[in-house]
Structure 1
Amino acid sequence: MRKTLVLAGVFALLSGALPAQAAAEIQAVTANVTHDPGNGTFSLTVQREGRTVVSPSPVGIRTAAADLTSGLREVSRSTRTVSENYRMTTGKRLDRTVRHTETRISIAGAGNARFDLVVRVADDGVAYRYELPEATDVLSEASAFSIPANANAWLMPYNPQHENRRFRTTAGGASAGEYGNPSLFEVGQDFVLLTESNVDGRYAGSSLRHTGGGVYQVQLKDQRVAGARIGPWRTVIVGDLATVTESTLVDDLAEPSRIADTSWIRPGKVAWSWLSEHSSPSDFERQKVYVDFAARNGWPYVLVDEGWSDKWVPELTRYARAKGVDILLWFHWNRLDTAAEREATLPLLQRWGVKGVKVDFMESDSQVRYQFYDAILADTAQRKLMINFHGSTIPHGLARTWPHLLTMEAVHGAEQLPLPDGNPIQPFTRNVVGSMDFTPVSLEVGPKVTSIGHEIALPVVFESGWTHFADKPEAYDRYPEALRFLDQVPTVWQQTELVNGYPGETAVFARRNGERWFVGGIAVGGARTMTAPLNFLGPGPWLVETIRDNGRSDVTRTSSRMSASDTLSVQVPANGGFAAVICPATEGRTTCYNSIPQVPATSLTITPTNSVTAKPGSTFEVTGSFTVNSIRPVMDVVLKPTAPEGWTVAGNPVTTRLLRQGEVLSGKWTVQVPVTARSGGFEVPIAAEYRVPDFPQVHVAKAVRGLVPLTGQAYVSDLPFDSATNGWGPVERDMSNGESGGGDGRPMSIAGTTYTKGIGVHAESEVVISLGGTCRAFTAKVGMDDETTSPGSSVFQVVGDGRVLQQSGVLRTGDAPLAFNVDITGVQVLSLKVTDGGDGKNFDHANWAEAHIACNA
């Protein structure tokens, strides 16, 4: 005889064991855990209002010590209510309330091996996980979900970056194979979304393997999960389409925030250049154009993607911050995958004033990669650097645990130049589980098969704590009315409502920020009338500004007064859409649009303006004067220098509570160079920081630049670089270039001869070192590294103060090393450059073996 435990929200705790029929009448969602004593198996059934949405599905786990999938018996059970309130920095709504019934069933198998099955039931779904009495290796799970074969399904073939297209099929009709979380099913009048929550480095991620007949088996992405004790939540979000879409169950199941003070975490809009012009992140002047665009449109960030240089990022950061804009930087994940790399890089980003990082190409759901997520989230939080994961797994509730995680990719987004038919699937699938970095609003980049109204609706339909806009400034400026709307759209929401829609056809969302509602609607297919019932509004008249298509030239905006009983109707073209801004229709109010804040005009002068030569143990004086040139005063001004790490400054910051137009705040300080100061270039930024309404803090800075001259003799690999650029991965010290990660090279080898000292690079590359005119000779043996599997070719150049001092001919793989012996007397700045040999940069792994500099004492 089967034994069934019915779990039905808080009433299961209050009323004890309820019969299934009574439980269904009291609670919309129920979970039935059934034990079959014949084979000793347990299964889970999920119902909504008495309708079965997940048929009996196996539960159980296999570890290195025991098979806990059959021959099982129940030992005990207990039930409690989980009640929590928490606040997010991103998502569908900031303030969250959790009310779950949690039942813990202690289960034993052969040899009295045990585990606890922990089941939670909420108004919007069911979740369960396995808890083991001690850490052990997990081999697999019996976990599966049995969905009616005729249920409509929206699935994505699994790949580790979660970027494949989603498509419509049926639960039973889908081909056998792996599908990615989250997966959506329409079971009669109910919807079911399968996914997982609270997955971190203690476990591995998973996919859903369709084994036939609508059964979807949880498949771990590691064959052996090491040292596991508490598994992730196997999560079933259940309800009508609005309940599923608006669900926060994935976040509700995650661990609480590990960051007490979140005041430094700031979502917002981001200007981003990579998609519209791939080479632009390597262009300092072009990035300044994006900064200027962001500043005048009130966008708080610019993301500088792959190609940026440490030669100019500090200056770009200062330029941006003076305009009220902050800089975010892209990284390949293996530039930050070790603790040593993060310890070297993250403090440097802090000193530059960078506010966050985009980390890319993780492309794995393995336990080891999840341990990387854990480590970099902890380290960036410690340094108060926000983060965005690309080429990543899906959200698992990490944004609750680490609220400085602003968004994640894991979507077939704008970078794939997608067709529009996938757009109305994403908000009902991928975006349900967390912020989604689709990089929307492609007006001129991409296939251009959607209307302008469709594109500008995407930042409302899609939720992302950071919204990275896909196109270039000139494109947006050519659509001024569309841009005006984008300037108004926030990325933080107090409330989210699905107004109407159906996966793959239409999606209309309303999201509230403060007193204003933003509505976005998208459709695919032919022209139609889209509607948005306004019953999400409160009482009183409302001013509704509707933004609709006007051919491909731009959009138009019209205003009307409406109420919560009205329905907004908009004619849209093929693959069209619309947007709206709604605010209280108070007396005299003519628009819901707010003015775009701008920072006041100010100026900062510093001395010395020429480069400083500072020997170890010496001192030098710096001054700064900050002036307000705007009629708007600034508040809480602090003027101070920041010395390099390990250096000291004599003199206190200069402060004032209020600085008005024409007033000047000045200071003078003495900088002490330590006797242990390393040679090379340095900066001493002098900054004025102040507050002004609409900006958390404005930072205006200029840098006194100088040089600690090199003395004695040293290998180049032991010296600090002013900057280093490389054609593939980072420049490596005392090893070959290797692959794209840091520290992954091999011993340097040229034509069979191995070298222990030198730098390994990949064309095109440049290493810059400040000398200060005190050195006399540079020597090296140069050539192509033997690790290249196909012929490489490069040209080596030694450049002093912009002048080529020695250059090789084309050197190829297998050529004998060429000796360089270069007179560098009087050279201030030395550059070691490697260019390709005229046949492209592929395989151009080049070595500056035994690179050495001799200087005066």
Structure 2
Amino acid sequence: MKRQVLLVMLFSALGSIVFGQKAVVQSPDQKIVVSLFNKQNNDNGEWVLKASYNNNGKITEAIPRIDIGLLRSDQDFSKELRFVKAGKPTLINEAYTALHGKRAVCKNEANEVVVAFENQTKAKLNLIIRAYNDGITFRYEFPDKQGSFVVKEELTAYTIPSATTRWMEKWNTANEGLYTAMDKNKILPGEWGYPALFNTDNKDCWFLLHEADVNRNYCGTKLSNAADGEIYKLTFPNPKDGRGLGESNPSITLPWKSPWRVIIMGTLADVVASTLVNDVSTPSVIKDTSWIKPGIASWNYWSSNHGTKDYKTVCEFADLAAAMNWPYTLLDWEWDAMGNGGNLEDAVKYITSKGIKPLIWYNSGGPHTYVTATPRDRMLTHENRVEEFTKLKKLGFAGVKVDFFESEKQEMIKYYLDILEDAAAFQMMVYFHGCIVPRGWERTYPNLMTHEAVRGAEWYNNTPDFTMPAPEHNATLPFTRNVVGPMDYTPVTFTNSQYPHVTSYAHELALSVLFESGIQHMADRPEGYYELPDVPKTFLKNVPNAWDDTKLLDGYPGKEVIMARRKGNDWYIGGINAEQREKTKTIKFDFLPEGVRYKLTLIADGKHDKDFATQYMVVDRSASVDVKLLRRGGFAASLVPMY
């Protein structure tokens, strides 16, 4: 530990005499370096960061320039910043437990340096820089003790060389677009949502841009390269978002810290396994978390858009959850108009009589959304929420799904967090839909089980245009959207909704492992599960949805992915092929512990898309197995130790 800190101090001392370099922060494993430079090569002026990655001795300048600075309503903190000092390096070393996600025991371990600046009026700005083994984070701080201002512009901007390959989603308020793969021959300008994935020209380094710990003191941001194709600048929400309500520019009161700017970095496996977004976020504010229970839910909307309006349909999905050993069922929109044999109270009695806990949908309401679906406005104010949560708790509901936020302005960030706080007071879990991409709130409020913020299986209801892109999209999400937090894609469908899918049955089964969500909503109609062969049906009865460990075994965005996840001593593997050709992939089990033999149940593509082929065998860490995947196919597997 002392050696790591000494190394950072050495780099900092050397940096001050090299090309205007004023500070260097190195990750504990020495693979990642972030350096601070002055553009005018002196102690005053404009400042930039540079991010580098060491891959087995080969240094890659991953991001050659990150512009920094803020424009506040009263003055400028960008052009004439005077370097005051770089503080002594500090080792951040913290462990914490996550109730759901890709890993149960997480580490927040980094080297941190705080750099102090002053502008021309002697007003103070600090830049807090951390280097992690899996990335870089930095944030701004106004340390003065008083004052209220508006942030007019954040000047953070990432210069990405044109030869860098990238996967990005066009910005939309619901974060439900497809990812566009771009290389040096195709770099589109525009506004882009988080997270954004990049691979350097030499293929040695992958990195993912995001932000974390967004709180009531700021707004969400996005990336824009509209002015220059190689420069992705952080921009505030569009004034028109949320029907034009709320201010786009955040208001702040000193002392103040910005959200973390996050660059997850390393190999592709490092990116997929990273918990960095949660690591830097505020620790849990909920003391008693015993009531927060991850699990799988049945969901009737995908197969019947008006399913919750029908009492008998609601009961069928409660029966499905009971038969499949899933703890939850979700009552979606129109529950307030339920008929055909019963109302909401009748439905809750039936659901709970089966040993299942109900979840329930709400329109976020208010003038920020055009959607008139009821019930509206019951989540909108603290008084509304207290009244509603009191009723729900008495009836026996375990959580709420809140929909249609349509903005990431500061006012809406406050709304999200107010819902989470009030829900926690009533021991209610929360699922956000039509919403923001995760920003690390799952650590602060572990009752936040999942977000939609993805083009998921619901889009088979919306348009025929999802059918053919879906396999490539499915093989992109584990490297992008699902890296940064839970993702409710509403997966694992074998029958069809309004529009068909072309993925194989084994591809769909694999999504139960590949896609992580604190509450995983299985979207198919009951017969879609009841009519499965016994082995895949048993797999879906037993597959967890909160994990102790996650490892990428193989893959490339948009082409294929094979991922292993552990729960207790058992491992589960999911793999999909997104391409229009058959493949044979070799699964190596070298991630297993030494000296333990496992019973492998492998459920792969059969002779055609709707057919399964099941194998059983005994393996250990020295074993490997070849698996044939159909075009747009897949496989799922379980590994249970033999003691």
TM > 0.5 fold call: yes
How much has 1:112 moved relative to structure 2?
A: 1.3
Q: Distance in 1 between matches of 2:346 and 2:471?
A: 39
- Name the counterpart of 2:84: 75
Q: Distance in 2 between matches of 1:355 and 1:178?
A: 37
1:562 aligns with 2:619: yes
Q: Distance in 2 between matches of 1:56 and 1:286?
A: 56
Q: Distance in 2 between matches of 1:19 and 1:510?
A: 42
Q: Distance in 2 between matches of 1:202 and 1:23?
A: 27
SS in 1 for 2:321: helix
Alignment of 1:287-306 (within 5 A): 287-306=314-333
Q: Distance in 1 between matches of 2:597 and 2:326?
A: 30
1:536 to 591, 594, 599: 591
Change (3 A) 1:172 1:137: farther
| Aligned residues of 2:85 and 2:116 also touching (Cα < 8 A) | yes
SS in 1 for 2:458: helix
1:253 to 274, 280, 283: 280
Q: Distance in 1 between matches of 2:350 and 2:403?
A: 26
- Name the counterpart of 1:616: none
- Report the residue type matching 1:510 in the other structure: A
- Name the counterpart of 2:214: 199
Q: Distance in 2 between matches of 1:367 and 1:282?
A: 35
1:321 aligns with 2:352: yes
1:465 aligns with 2:480: no
**How many residues align structurally?**
579
Q: Distance in 2 between matches of 1:217 and 1:304?
A: 41
| Aligned residues of 1:171 and 1:213 also touching (Cα < 8 A) | no
- Which protein is richer in helix relative to its size? 2
| Aligned residues of 1:9 and 1:29 also touching (Cα < 8 A) | no
Change (3 A) 1:165 1:10: farther
How much has 1:9 moved relative to structure 2?
A: 6.6
- Name the counterpart of 2:118: 108
Structure 1 residue runs without a partner (length 5+): 1-7, 587-857
- Report the residue type matching 1:170 in the other structure: D
Q: Distance in 2 between matches of 1:480 and 1:113?
A: 69
- Name the counterpart of 1:136: 149
How much has 1:585 moved relative to structure 2?
A: 2.5
Q: Which deviates more from structure 2 when the two are superposed, residues 52-61 or residues 543-552?
A: 543-552
Q: Distance in 2 between matches of 1:422 and 1:296?
A: 31
SS in 1 for 2:116: strand
- Report the residue type matching 1:40 in the other structure: G
- Which protein is richer in strand relative to its size? 1
SS in 1 for 2:121: helix
How much has 1:583 moved relative to structure 2?
A: 1.1
SS in 2 for 1:180: strand
Alignment of 1:26-41 (within 5 A): 27-37=30-40, 40-41=45-46
- Name the counterpart of 1:43: 48
Q: Distance in 2 between matches of 1:548 and 1:10?
A: 49
How much has 1:491 moved relative to structure 2?
A: 0.6
Change (3 A) 1:471 1:556: same
Q: Distance in 2 between matches of 1:59 and 1:202?
A: 19
How much has 1:12 moved relative to structure 2?
A: 4.6
Q: Which deviates more from structure 2 when the two are superposed, residues 189-198 or residues 167-176?
A: 167-176
- Name the counterpart of 2:638: 581
2:456 to 393, 413, 423: 413
Q: Distance in 1 between matches of 2:85 and 2:40?
A: 15
SS in 2 for 1:468: strand
- Report the residue type matching 2:205 in the other structure: D
| Aligned residues of 1:197 and 1:254 also touching (Cα < 8 A) | yes
SS in 2 for 1:245: helix
| Aligned residues of 2:26 and 2:34 also touching (Cα < 8 A) | no
Q: Distance in 2 between matches of 1:162 and 1:585?
A: 44
1:176 aligns with 2:192: no
| Aligned residues of 1:237 and 1:244 also touching (Cα < 8 A) | yes
Change (3 A) 1:121 1:489: same
How much has 1:296 moved relative to structure 2?
A: 1.7
Change (3 A) 1:71 1:514: same
| Aligned residues of 2:8 and 2:26 also touching (Cα < 8 A) | no
- Report the residue type matching 1:35 in the other structure: N
Alignment of 1:131-530 (within 5 A): 131-132=141-142, 133=144, 134=146, 135-170=148-183, 173-187=186-200, 188=202, 189-210=204-225, 211-221=227-237, 223-227=248-252, 229-309=256-336, 312-334=343-365, 335=377, 336-417=379-460, 418=466, 419-446=470-497, 447-481=500-534, 482-525=536-579, 526-530=581-585
Over the aligned positions, Cα root-mean-square deviation in angstroms equals 1.9
How much has 1:139 moved relative to structure 2?
A: 0.9
Alignment of 1:547-558 (within 5 A): 547-550=603-606, 551-558=608-615
| Aligned residues of 1:480 and 1:554 also touching (Cα < 8 A) | no
SS in 2 for 1:343: helix
- Report the residue type matching 2:398 in the other structure: K
| Aligned residues of 1:464 and 1:491 also touching (Cα < 8 A) | yes
Question: Larger relative CO (CA 8 A, sep 6+): 1 or 2?
Answer: 2
SS in 1 for 2:383: helix
Alignment of 1:8-27 (within 5 A): 10-12=5-7, 15=10, 17=12, 19=14, 27=30
Instruction: Point out 4+ residue stretches in structure 1 off by more than 3 angstroms.
Output: 8-16, 18-26, 36-39
Change (3 A) 1:413 1:557: same
Structure 2 residue runs without a partner (length 5+): 19-23, 238-246, 366-376, 461-465
Q: Distance in 1 between matches of 2:299 and 2:120?
A: 58
| Aligned residues of 1:172 and 1:214 also touching (Cα < 8 A) | no
How much has 1:468 moved relative to structure 2?
A: 0.3
Alignment of 1:726-805 (within 5 A): none
| Aligned residues of 2:248 and 2:409 also touching (Cα < 8 A) | no
Q: Distance in 2 between matches of 1:362 and 1:14?
A: 46
How much has 1:212 moved relative to structure 2?
A: 2.5
| Aligned residues of 2:331 and 2:359 also touching (Cα < 8 A) | yes
- Report the residue type matching 1:254 in the other structure: S
SS in 1 for 2:278: helix
Q: Percent identity?
A: 33
| Aligned residues of 2:217 and 2:252 also touching (Cα < 8 A) | yes
How much has 1:205 moved relative to structure 2?
A: 0.6
- Report the residue type matching 1:242 in the other structure: A
| Aligned residues of 2:135 and 2:262 also touching (Cα < 8 A) | yes
Change (3 A) 1:518 1:10: farther
- Report the residue type matching 2:318 in the other structure: V
How much has 1:17 moved relative to structure 2?
A: 2.7
SS in 2 for 1:290: helix
SS in 1 for 2:95: strand
Q: Distance in 2 between matches of 1:423 and 1:532?
A: 20
SS in 2 for 1:508: strand
How much has 1:223 moved relative to structure 2?
A: 3.9
How much has 1:213 moved relative to structure 2?
A: 4.2
SS in 1 for 2:454: coil
TM-score normalised to structure 2 length: 0.87
Offset from partner CA, 1:319-354 (integer Å, 9 cap, x none)? 222322100001111221112211221111001100
TM-score normalised to structure 1 length: 0.66
- Name the counterpart of 2:463: none
How much has 1:13 moved relative to structure 2?
A: 5.0
How much has 1:318 moved relative to structure 2?
A: 2.4
Offset from partner CA, 1:400-454 (integer Å, 9 cap, x none)? 0000111101111111123211111100000000010010012112422000000
How much has 1:492 moved relative to structure 2?
A: 1.2
How much has 1:113 moved relative to structure 2?
A: 2.0
